[in-house]
C-alpha cells in the first residue's frame, strides 16, 4: 500500500498504533497538538506534521485516535475540520471511544463526501498498542474492511467484524461498561480485604483463582498500581468518560444498568481528585476511602 497514511492523535494508544504502522513499512504522517507526542512518534518512524490541514490533503487513508467526541467533531466536522481536504475515495478509520451519535454523524458526512468510513475502536492497553497486539472492533462494509485490513493487521492480532458502520463503537461501549465497572468494583474489593488485614498476595491469589478473576487483578494492576506506578496508560478521567458514554447509550436504548450507573458515579468522583492518574489508581482512591494509606512508590503500603 503506497499511499501515505495520516494518523491524528499520538498519545498513549495512538502513538503505539502509528509506530506499529511505521514498523510494518507504511509511510505514516502523524499529527498531535502535543509536541512531545510528535517527538516520540518521530523517533518511532512517523513523519511529524504540525499543520493538520496539510495532513488531510496528503493522506489517502486517515486514522484518528482522539480523547472524546468533541475533539473528533472539531477535527473532522468543525469550522477548521479536515474532512473537506480529503480526496474523494479516501478512507477514514475512526478508532476513538466516542458517542455513537458522533460516529453516525461522521459516517454520514463521509458518505456525502464520497469517502469510505469505518469505525474501529480498540481494546487492550498501550503495551499492546506499542507491539501491534490490539483487538479491533470494526463497524464497516466488507469491502471497506478488506481495504483497511493490511493496516489493522499491522496494529492488532484480533479483528472482530461487529457489523455495519456504527456497530464497532457500540460494541466497544458495551465492553467498556463491563470492564470499567469491573475496575471500580475490583478496587473496592481489594481495599476491603486490606482493610480487614488480609495478606495481599494471598487475597490476590483467591480473587484471581476463581470466578472473580479479571484482567485488572490478574495482570494489569501488577504492572501498574501494585508496582507503585500510577503514571497514566489509561487515565481515570478517560474511564469516567467511557462509563458516561456507555450508561448514556444504555439509557437511550431503555436498558437498565444500575450497577454500571453506580460505578460511573464512583469513577466520576475519583476523577475529580485523581483524574490524571492511571485507572489502576482507583485502588488508591478506594484505600483512602477506607481510611488507609495509598500504595507507595514500590507498591507497598495500604495500611490503616
5 φ, ψ to 5°? -105, 125
146 with 196, same domain: the answer is no
42: pLDDT strictly greater than 80:
yes
16 with 136, same domain: the answer is yes
CATH number at residue 93: 3.40.50.720
Residue 46: its pLDDT value, please?
A: 98
Residue 19 lies in a domain: yes
The confidence band for 304, taking pLDDT boundaries of 50, 70 and 90, is low
121 with 217, same domain: the answer is no
152 with 208, same domain: the answer is no
Residue 297 lies in a domain: no
53 with 188, same domain: the answer is no
> Residues 198-255: pLDDT tens digits?
999 999 999 999 999 999 999 999 999 999 999 999 999 999 999 999 999 999 999 9
Residue 109 lies in a domain: yes
Domain boundary among 165, 192, 220: 165
10 with 156, same domain: the answer is yes
* pTM tops 0.85, yes or no: yes
Residue 98 lies in a domain: yes
Range of the domain at 245: 173-289
Alpha carbon distance 155, 93 (integer Å):
13
> Residues 252-288: pLDDT tens digits?
999 999 999 999 999 999 999 999 999 999 999 999 9
272 with 125, same domain: the answer is no
Active-site residue identified among 133, 172, 195, 303: 172
The confidence band for 54, taking pLDDT boundaries of 50, 70 and 90, is confident
62 with 97, same domain: the answer is yes
| DSSP per-residue string spanning 84-145 | GGSPTT-EEEE-S---HHHHHHHHHHHHHTT-EEEE--EES-HHHHHHT-EEEEEES-HHHH
Reading the block at residue 263, the C-alpha cell is: 460505578
Residue 2: its pLDDT value, please?
A: 65
> Residues 56-67: pLDDT tens digits?
889 999 999 999
Is 172 catalytic? The answer is yes
Residue 298 lies in a domain: no
Residue 232 lies in a domain: yes
Give me the number of domains the chain comprises: 2
232 with 94, same domain: the answer is no
Residue 296 lies in a domain: no
CATH number at residue 230: 1.10.1040.10
217 with 152, same domain: the answer is no
Domain boundary among 165, 191, 215: 165
10 with 159, same domain: the answer is yes
Q: Are strands 134-139 and 122-123 parallel, antiparallel or unpaired?
A: antiparallel
28 with 140, same domain: the answer is yes
121 φ, ψ to 5°? -65, 165
Alpha carbon distance 180, 270 (integer Å):
13
- For residues 159 and 175, is the Cβ–Cβ distance under 8 A? no
Which residue from 71, 61, 43, 72 is spatially nearest to 7, judged by alpha carbons? 61
Element (H, E) at 29: strand 28-31
Residue 147 lies in a domain: yes
194: pLDDT strictly greater than 80:
yes
270 φ, ψ to 5°? -65, -35
Domain boundary among 134, 165, 196: 165
Residue 296: its pLDDT value, please?
A: 83
Amino acid at each position: 500500500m503506497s499511499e501515505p497514511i495520516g494518523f491524528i492523535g499520538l498519545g498513549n494508544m495512538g502513538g503505539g498504533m502509528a509506530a506499529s504502522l511505521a514498523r510494518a513499512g507504511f509511510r505514516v504522517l502523524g499529527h498531535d497538538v502535543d509536541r512531545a507526542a510528535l517527538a516520540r512518534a518521530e523517533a518511532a518512524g512517523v513523519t511529524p506534521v504540525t499543520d493538520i490541514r496539510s495532513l488531510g490533503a496528503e493522506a489517502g487513508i486517515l486514522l484518528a485516535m482522539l480523547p472524546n467526541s468533541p475533539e473528533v467533531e472539531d477535527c473532522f466536522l468543525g469550522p477548521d475540520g479536515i474532512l473537506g481536504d480529503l480526496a474523494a475515495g479516501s478512507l477514514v478509520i475512526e478508532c476513538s471511544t466516542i458517542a455513537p451519535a458522533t460516529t453516525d454523524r461522521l459516517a454520514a458526512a463521509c458518505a456525502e463526501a464520497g469517502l469510505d468510513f469505518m469505525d474501529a475502536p480498540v481494546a487492550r492497553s498501550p503495551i499492546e498498542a506499542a507491539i501491534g497486539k490490539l483487538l479491533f472492533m470494526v463497524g464497516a462494509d466488507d469491502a471497506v474492511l478488506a481495504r483497511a485490513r493490511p493496516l489493522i493487521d499491522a496494529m492488532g492480532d484480533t479483528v472482530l467484524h461487529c457489523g455495519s458502520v456504527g456497530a464497532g463503537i457500540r460494541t466497544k461501549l458495551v465492553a467498556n461498561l463491563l470492564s470499567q465497572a469491573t475496575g471500580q468494583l475490583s478496587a473496592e474489593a481489594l481495599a476491603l480485604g486490606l482493610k480487614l488485614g488480609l495478606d495481599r498476595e494471598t487475597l490476590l491469589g483467591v480473587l484471581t483463582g476463581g470466578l472473580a478473576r479479571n484482567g485488572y487483578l490478574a495482570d494489569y494492576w501488577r504492572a501498574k498500581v501494585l508496582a507503585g506506578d500510577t503514571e497514566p496508560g489509561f487515565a481515570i478521567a478517560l474511564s469516567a468518560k467511557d462509563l458516561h458514554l456507555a450508561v448514556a447509550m444504555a439509557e437511550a436504548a431503555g436498558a437498565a444498568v444500575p450497577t454500571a450507573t453506580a460505578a460511573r458515579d464512583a469513577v466520576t468522583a475519583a476523577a475529580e481528585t485523581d483524574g490524571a492518574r492511571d485507572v489502576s489508581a482507583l485502588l488508591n482512591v478506594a484505600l483512602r476511602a477506607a481510611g488507609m494509606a495509598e500504595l507507595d512508590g514500590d507498591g507497598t503500603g495500604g495500611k490503616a
